[in-house]
Amino acid sequence: MTDLLEDVRSFIHPSTIVYTRRGPKEICDVCPGDEVVAQTGTFVAVAVVHRKPYRGLLLDIGGRGQVHEHHRLLQADDTFVQADELRAGDVLRAVVPKYTEDIPELTEEDCLLYGVMMVSARVDKDNVVTLRHNMLTSAAEETLKAGGVNFLHDQGAGTLVFMSPFRREMLLDESWRMRFYAPLLHLPQTKLRKLQQGLWYGSMASSDPADGDRCIAVSDRALAEAIRYIFLRTGTDLEYDGEVLRKPPGPIAEGSTGYVDRKIRSIDREEFSGELVDLETAGECDEERTYMTNIGASHNGGGKRNGSFAIYIEPWHADVFDFLDLKKNHGDEERRARDLFYAMWVPDLFMERVQSGSQWSLMDPSACPGLPDAVGQDFKLLYEGYEASSRWVRQVDARTLWNAILVSQIETGTPYLLFKDACNRKSNQSNLGTIRSSNLCSEILQYSSPAETAVCNLSSIALPTFARAEDRSFDFEGLHNVTKVAMRNLNKVIDINYYPTPEAELSNRRHRPVGIGVQGLADTFCILRHPFESPEARQLNRDIAETMYHAALETSCELAAEREAEILEYRQLASIEGKSKEIKRQINHILKRTRFTKEELERRYCPGAYDSYFWNGGCPVSKGILQFDMWDVRPSDRYDWDALRGNIEIHGVRNSLMIAIMPTASTSQILGNSECIEPVTANVYSRRTIAGDFMVVNKYLMRELIDSGKWNEQMKQRILAAEGSVQGIEEIPEEVRRIYKTVWEIPQRALIDLSADRGAFTCQTQSLNLFVGNPTPKVLTSMHFHSFKSGLKTASYYMRCQLKAKIQQFTVDPALAKVEKAAKADSAALACSRDNAEGCLACSA
């Protein structure tokens, strides 16, 4: 399965030629630090060389090289296409290298002679040159005389013999084979053309650019690829058949656009067994993450992010106990798959059996069909029917399985926990069929089937942008407007996009789902001075969610109305008989701008709504049922929901789903915000991303301490000694300490309650991480059942636990560390003591 995940990268044959600063190399010989030609025409360093064992078919692209079917190549229209989508006659695009570096002491005459020698001379170990061909002798004599080189002319043999004016390493490799000296590949254009002229001379070929039948005989591949690079630099693409380099038919392309287009002669499939290779460059933009091969410009397949995969299973499955062990750090290595991610898709019936301590039956899905597609009461009737007929594999105490789930969460942070019935019952795609899983980050809930693969288009909004510190207010109007802009942009992404499979495109265009999320919620609370678990924070959180949902729905309805106007205009024009040129022009103008689905053209009511809007009796929104209605929640009076319902009844909505609270680790780092909906993990901490590790200080706390005159070296040391906590530092006012509690000091019930409040306005779901300093099955049970009873769809994404062993803090005064450790221990004892009569403050168990 791990190998399967790596197939998302695109790989190519190890013998494929890559153009580097040191000359053409087989890609298998490229090392990190080598510089390769990027799409910009300049050199960019290689960061990583990816290698992958592979046995199967490769695609041979016109005899130039072999690539994996997923490898992406640049087309003439400047878009990338997977190799398996190419056909003979398609045109690929090669980059004209721009890098130039002169060798001042090398004259144009030297370049001419060097070119001649490369293809028609024999050089021995003593650097003695024997130049063949009678027709070359007169021109060569003049060149040698001009350079003051002594030579011997054997007229009978038709050769010139002389000591080479070039150093031996400029002509021969370590195996005494003719090789181009790498610096000569980067000469200025005038010298480069003299070099090319010498190559034509040396091959007994015409130097007339109008001659379409020129060729250079060269059987050494490395030398041939160097010559190809030299001609590519002037916009000429030579074809090579293993013996001869030949100019393709037609006029020479001068490469003025920076590209040379190559028509694919043929595409064949070849068996391969061995190691494929791909490069990951250190480029900062897309063009610099593309590298040039002798096939064409290749998209950087390695990318910045590895492929990942989450597997969902329901607790009635007979293999569920083995499933829960797959990520554990101990046990039989042959029965572990730690690179994968795991999730439980839990029906309500299982939670009820756990609560009552009843028996639970494990079943074989092939012997008990229909369970994955059954939801709610239908699932209960089918499941209990299989139990009554003894079609189970074995039976266990429901709490035994529940404890196995919790132990896995404590040890590995997974499985994710999602409630199947809530996910389906509260979905606007419930008219399509049963949703059988979420995604890698547990925030996407969409219908999939063998015919269509669910796709979502995501963006997140930075909430601190709308927080006003001066009057401690929040700009809801600004958030509403930005959400509307994001909604329109994401809707466009659906139409203007690259789809890796037809099934993905089918799903995305049918249902048009998007997911708008947030980042910086904790920052927003800090700016407005709301403790995370305060009533003020809870109300603000709810108002933010309501604002975004209203803006998204309103915009989607507007988009449906605009689409409806386009459809009606097209229908009207298309229905005209005996169309004039002007009418035809108008129709063509519309069809150039957009395309219509069969559903849109045939539907009479709400034609601008997404295609599956009325399927199978219609989605909930088509019946006036919005997300908060499914939660039995009444929205505030901030927005006119009745007016919006009325508009939706007339026009429908353009998108089936709109809000999804996703993780935002990388984008939060870019914008300097806290991640997603989470509290800060510490007020001073190290943040690890794909770009490296960074020390982060809570800027709001630091500013507050500076303004109050409390920030100094000793204060910094005390916060470091307390591992980023300020709760034990009495010099900081209690009001400030409450605002800057870390996630380990905030009751997890508060996170769950905030999530439930958002959930009423979140039509997909939320990546809800939970944080428990001292996890036990009893603590986790309390949290998960609170989530279940609160109606959450996602009970937990990752279960985060604190390390038992702490890293030695060498920069912290040992005396300070001892004091802060004692203060923190007192706080922890109060927060999470099972003997605390008022209940656990960390999880409210």
For the chain, give every domain's residue range.
Answer: 2-98+261-299, 108-257, 308-450+769-801
- pTM metric for this prediction: 0.69
831 pLDDT band, cuts 50/70/90, is very low
Q: Which of 368, 423, 441, 840 is catalytic?
A: 441
Is 441 among the catalytic positions? yes
The pLDDT of residue 2: 44
Tokens of 258: 């920076």
Check residues 159 and 18 and name the one with the higher pLDDT.
Answer: 18
Report the share of the chain in percent with pLDDT over 70: 88
Cα pseudo-dihedral 96, 98, 99, 105, rounded to 10: 100
Question: Per mean pLDDT, which range of 288-292, 499-503, 837-841 is the poorest?
Answer: 837-841
User: DSSP assignment, residue 766?
Assistant: B
- List C-alpha distances in Å: 258 to 37, 40, 191, 329, 557: 12, 8, 19, 53, 45
pLDDT, mean of residues 493-509? 93
Q: Which of 314, 443, 558, 600 is catalytic?
A: 443
Question: Per mean pLDDT, which range of 67-76, 145-154, 408-417, 720-729 is the poorest?
Answer: 145-154
Please write the tens of the pLDDT for every residue from 114-136: 888 888 888 888 888 887 765 56
Is 254 among the catalytic positions? no
Question: Per mean pLDDT, which range of 11-20, 525-534, 835-844 is the poorest?
Answer: 835-844
Which of 40, 442, 16, 453 lies closest to 281 in space, CA to CA? 40
Backbone angles phi, psi at 368, to 5 degrees: -130, 70
Judge whether residue 152 has pLDDT over 90. Answer: no
pLDDT, mean of residues 563-589? 90
Backbone angles phi, psi at 122, to 5 degrees: -120, 125
The pLDDT of residue 136: 60
Helix 641-651 crosses helix 535-574 at what angle (to 10 degrees)?
Answer: 30
CATH class of segment(s) 108-257: alpha beta
Question: Per mean pLDDT, which range of 199-203, 658-662, 726-730 is the poorest?
Answer: 199-203
- List C-alpha distances in Å: 61 to 66, 186, 236, 297, 573: 6, 28, 19, 13, 45
d(CA 210, CA 252): 8
Backbone angles phi, psi at 600, to 5 degrees: -65, -40
The pLDDT of residue 126: 80
Please write the tens of the pLDDT for every residue from 46-58: 988 888 888 888 9
Judge whether residue 303 has pLDDT over 60. Answer: no
Check residues 488 and 222 and name the one with the higher pLDDT.
Answer: 488
Report the share of the chain in percent with pLDDT over 90: 57
d(CA 808, CA 723): 11
Look at the alpha carbons of 534, 540, 543, 547 in this order and tell me if their dihedral is positive or negative.
Answer: negative
Tokens of 715: 């204060």
Check residues 705 and 825 and name the one with the higher pLDDT.
Answer: 705
Cβ–Cβ < 8 Å for 549, 644: no
User: DSSP assignment, residue 335?
Assistant: G
pLDDT, mean of residues 300-317? 78
Radius of gyration of the chain (CA): 34
Tokens of 628: 């908060």
Judge whether residue 845 has pLDDT over 90. Answer: no
Q: Which of 294, 428, 431, 439 is catalytic?
A: 439
d(CA 828, CA 408): 24
CB atoms closer than 10 angstroms to residue 220: 14
User: DSSP assignment, residue 317?
Assistant: B
Residues in the chain: 845
d(CA 117, CA 164): 9
CB contact set of 796 (below 8 Å; sequence gap of 6+): 409, 416, 417, 768, 769, 770, 783, 784, 787
Instruction: Kindly give the pairing relationship between strand 121-123 and strand 290-292.
Output: unpaired
3-state secondary structure 124-144: CCCCEEEECCHHHHHHHHHHH
Please write the tens of the pLDDT for every residue from 762-816: 999 999 999 998 899 999 999 999 999 999 999 999 999 876 545 445 455 555 5
* 2-98+261-299 fold: Endonuclease - Pi-scei; Chain A, domain 1 (2.170.16)
Is 443 among the catalytic positions? yes
Residue 761 bridge partners (DSSP): none
Check residues 594 and 507 and name the one with the higher pLDDT.
Answer: 507
Cα pseudo-dihedral 27, 32, 33, 36, rounded to 10: 30
Tokens of 603: 């539907």
Tokens of 615: 């399927």
